[in-house]
Amino acid sequence: STLSDEEHKSVMKYCVERVAGRVPVIAGTGSNDTNYGLQLSQYAEKIGVDALMLVTPYYNKTTQRGLIKHYQMIADNVSTPMILYNVPSRTGMKIEADTIIELSNHKNIVAMKDATGDIGYAAEVLSRITNDDFVIYSGNDDMIVPILSLGGVGVISVVSNVLPGQTHDLVMKYLEGDIEGSRKLQLGLLNFIQSLFIETNP
């Protein structure tokens, strides 16, 4: 969030070149400035990212209709798949269920990273989505199994930066039917996160 425009673009370009097609690259191109978000998204598309992730506009606190126009403006002008990033604790702005339902019907908007921490919200969205191509990822490491149990497809994770193998196995065990194995890994992950919190906040 503190990178300059030049630094942001440089990081994205380096990542695409370094990965060289081995795994998908998702670039964070969201902004509270619609035009800047569009410019950044078009740049990311030009350098070959596989998907764009756009956080809700922060600080501005637009209406839900304004939020729809914001995302549609960008989606109408790129061809790269877009993931909406719903994290109201960081932005002060929530994508309401009705808004997600409407945006999910845009051909370029393919997923949401749900970091609301509200399992009821996730359940409502997943029960109402009619576009089978639109999916939800958990955005909270403590809610991976709950989101998967409702029909989510994975996690866009923080803790995976330090525990990539365990996070991968947690998701794959669930998707392959080993619910108990996945549950144990989820609880182990929670214990690890809690221990980090205790160590950094004595």
Nearest partner of 30 among 117, 91, 119, judged by Cα: 91
Q: Determine whether 113 is an active site residue.
A: yes
Alpha-carbon separation of residue 54 from 8, 37, 83, 118 (angstroms) = 14, 8, 6, 20
Catalytic pick among 85, 121, 137, 174: 85
12 DSSP assignment = H
Sign, CA dihedral 196-144-109-63, equals: negative
For residue 132, give both structure tokens: 């089978």
Q: Determine whether 184 is an active site residue.
A: no
Catalytic pick among 71, 94, 113, 137: 113
Q: Are 40 and 12 in contact (CB under 8 A)?
A: no
What are the catalytic residues?
85, 113
